[in-house]
Chains A and B, each alone.
Chain A
């Protein structure tokens, strides 16, 4: 029995190993599927829904859906793009995101996705929620205003750092990341060198004392849209 599956993305025939998710299989073949809550090396979450594709006619999250033989996936399609834009805009209005003075600007995946999709301003009204900042830890802070509830910090901390410093509390629109302690981060074992710190796609879980140190022009997404690295690898390998 062959362990290889053939399927298609936007009409392009692709081969991948059995058991791969659509997102991983696409990436291995140089096709970037936009994502926010997904992070390599930790278990998929399927919460942001930015990676929504149409698989065999149905909208599915590419990060949690395994490829099946002959599957027909639409990624670069008008309908898919419209859904992704709507979701990115929802994330912008849900929190308090002020890119112009955020220290994550230029390195922020949410902002980078907005640029990639050409979103100048969200169509939805800002919700301007009242959210708190946990600034009690000497080296690390959480600004809940910028949190998009992707769980990348929670999963990375547990699965990579081997720590149990964070989790989700509450539900619905009140859901938030919480420290594994009564009084916030300062009572946890989080450390500035934790992999979880690098996992935050936005400016929510941040190291102190190093803000704005990278000059404009040298930040991660200053020159090329997010996802370019994945797409470039494909071009290089086909040459």
Chain B
């Protein structure tokens, strides 16, 4: 490590107050500057922060975007999810590989490029997409790859790839992204005009308890997918003892097929921050953290600017809007590529500078969250709803949607339809209605709620999106008849294996076993008893896993087996000769045959 790097790291640690809880900011900073966090860098960071070196290595090796090995100047990360796979992922991967002259996970000998894939980057409505360092490139096709690489070779600056910026704030000078919002339907709650301060002014005229009561009267439930009553969560946190309390906004939108938070962050950041501030007022918190997934780093400067403006307008900081004693501020914590950090306790771990392992519950974050203090963690969309509830009243909000699921829901729609994008719909909409709205005519299967949700077929299209029927964080992936159900399921299982934190046995091992069995079945080596094997293994993983990831990861297999049994049955067969289909006699005796000097010993008739 040279002197410049040493001094860069030392200064970075100092600027974070040598606080070990700020480890994420430090290692992300080092990775950004040097395209790696070397062993020497780990030693230095550990010494500066007073941490064991292995704890620094633990975090660096946990997050996908951080690496001990040297990466290229430009890190090309092709988004690998089922939607991208449907729209040319293989061709684009091949094109990049040929153009760069390297395979996946390799760096060019001149150190200019590293080529990798990454889990869903939240661009399914403009797939195929990729990240070039922090720059998002959308609507890729194999023809454009040559030009992209050519241009990058010239200046190694991915920002120059953005020739035409997207609509709305995607064209903001601090964003400058080619990303499109694709807001297809504006409902009454999220995508209407909002004047910053409007809701807060009304909220601060109420007592904190009245704010909580409004949220409860509106019957607001968490928008991340689990649907926990928001008001109740706030009440618990308010009642919990603690010198400090925290508000956290979960903008680690990692569920494949979900991208609505990206659009809210781009277009309605004030609605989010205002909701967080109201939450802070309601529970008595002084600090808020918005956890922004690393994939959305391109929004960081814009969001920080918005926070600055809010401070300047008296909407954040000391004595907000002149209210004595109400001090609240927000900072943004960047993630670095880990789906699990969308799990609320893993998100807290990550904010604390740890690897993104979920925590044991109880205690729940409402009792002991960030740094052990009572903490509210809510979804981006939930905070937006809070702002509107206070702005327009609980009664107004509860008029929308259904009795058990009030308000609207943002859906991220992608796959086989004419109008992919974000839809704000009232709860209670049926899948039929939705498919018609998005221009999907020949739908065979719909994945509701992303991989952790469920895959449903035509027989279920009369069902409705709400907490009592099809609950969802918002991902809706649409598949026509010519799609291979098991290919979809395979993509989801690949994802879960990749994203498991590895803490608990059933998730770490069980998902690998599910994935392997699925691969065998798809290779024609399945037998009828495999269905029971998958079911029983899947149920065990769900029942015994420590957090929501493992408790839902078998869903792609379990729900596709329930709704598309033929997709499996047509591939399963008893072996005629009485062997297990997975047993390959030729392969088993290949070594012996070679040693004995003859060829294949077993011949099919």
Contact = CB atoms under 8 A, between A and B. Distances in A.
Interface of A: 44, 46-50, 52, 59, 61, 64-66, 82-83, 86-87, 90-91, 93-94, 123-125, 127, 148-149, 164, 166-175, 178-182
Given A170-B61, A180-B53, A175 B508 contact: yes
B546 A61 contact: yes
Given A86-B537, A175-B508, 15 more contacts: A46-B546, A86-B506, A86-B540, A87-B544, A94-B505, A125-B513, A125-B516, A125-B582, A170-B62, A171-B61, A171-B340, A180-B52, A180-B53, A181-B54, A182-B39
B504 A167 contact: no
B35 to A, nearest CB: 19
B497 A173 contact: yes
Contacts of B582: 125
A52 B504 CA distance: 12
A236 B596 CA distance: 63
A180 B502 contact: no
B509 A172 contact: no
Given A91-B509, A127-B512, A83 B362 contact: no
Nearest to A168: B58
A87 B546 contact: no
A124 B62 CA distance: 27
B510 interface: yes
A171 B62 contact: yes
Contacts of B54: 164, 166-167, 169, 178-181
Contacts of A180: 52-54
A72 B505 CA distance: 25
A90 B505 contact: yes
A91 B505 contact: yes
Interface string B493-531: 000011111111110111011001000000000000000
**What DSSP secondary structure best describes chain B's contact surface?**
helix
Contacts of B516: 125, 127
B355 interface: yes
A121 to B, nearest CB: 14
A178 B57 contact: yes
A124 B533 CA distance: 9
13 contacts: A49-B505, A50-B505, A91-B505, A125-B582, A148-B505, A171-B62, A171-B356, A171-B501, A172-B508, A174-B502, A178-B54, A179-B54, A182-B39
Interface string B37-63: 001000100000000111101100110
A148 B503 CA distance: 11
A170 B540 contact: no
B509 A90 contact: yes
A113 B566 CA distance: 39
B504 A171 contact: no
A179 B54 CA distance: 7
A52 B544 contact: yes
A171 B502 CA distance: 5
Interface in B353-373: 355-356, 360, 362
Most interface-central of B55, B57, B338, B533 (chain A CB within 10 A): B57
A48 B62 contact: no
Contacts of B498: 172
Given A44-B360, A83-B540, A125-B516, A172 B502 contact: yes
Contact of A49 (B501, B512, B546): B546
Contact of B513 (A50, A90, A148, A172): A90
B481 to A, nearest CB: 33
A180 B500 CA distance: 23
A65 B504 CA distance: 15
Interface string B545-563: 1100000000000000000
Interface centre among A46, A49, A173 (most CB of B within 10 A): A49
Contacts of A61: 360, 546
A212 B64 CA distance: 42
Q: Point out which of B500, B512, B533 has the most chain A C-beta atoms below 10 A from its C-beta.
A: B512
A164 B52 contact: yes
Contacts of A47: 503-505, 546
Contacts of B540: 82-83, 86-87
B544 A83 contact: yes
Of residues B52, B500, B516, which shows the largest number of chain A Cβ atoms within 10 Å of its Cβ?
A: B52
B16 interface: no
Given A59-B543, A90-B510, A90-B513, A170 B52 contact: no
Q: Which 6 A-B pairs have the closest CB atoms?
A: A167-B54, A175-B502, A164-B52, A180-B54, A90-B509, A172-B500
Contacts of B53: 180-181
Contact of B61 (A64, A87, A169): A169
Contacts of B500: 171-173
Contacts of B543: 52, 59, 83
Interface string B311-345: 00000000000000000000000000010100000
Nearest to A68: B362
A46 B360 contact: yes
B485 to A, nearest CB: 24
B549 to A, nearest CB: 10
B506 A49 contact: yes
A114 B369 CA distance: 37
Contacts of A125: 513, 516, 582
Nearest to A63: B360
A173 B502 contact: yes
A83 to B, nearest CB: 5
Contacts of B501: 171-172, 175
Contacts of B512: 94, 127, 173
Contact of A48 (B362, B504, B513): B504
Contact of B52 (A48, A65, A167, A172): A167
A66 B512 CA distance: 31
B508 A49 contact: no
A83 B537 CA distance: 9
A181 B53 CA distance: 7
A168 B510 CA distance: 20
Contacts of B537: 86, 124
A57 to B, nearest CB: 11
Nearest to A125: B516
B91 to A, nearest CB: 28
Contacts of A127: 509, 512, 516
A144 to B, nearest CB: 14
A182 B46 CA distance: 13
A38 to B, nearest CB: 12
A93 B509 contact: yes
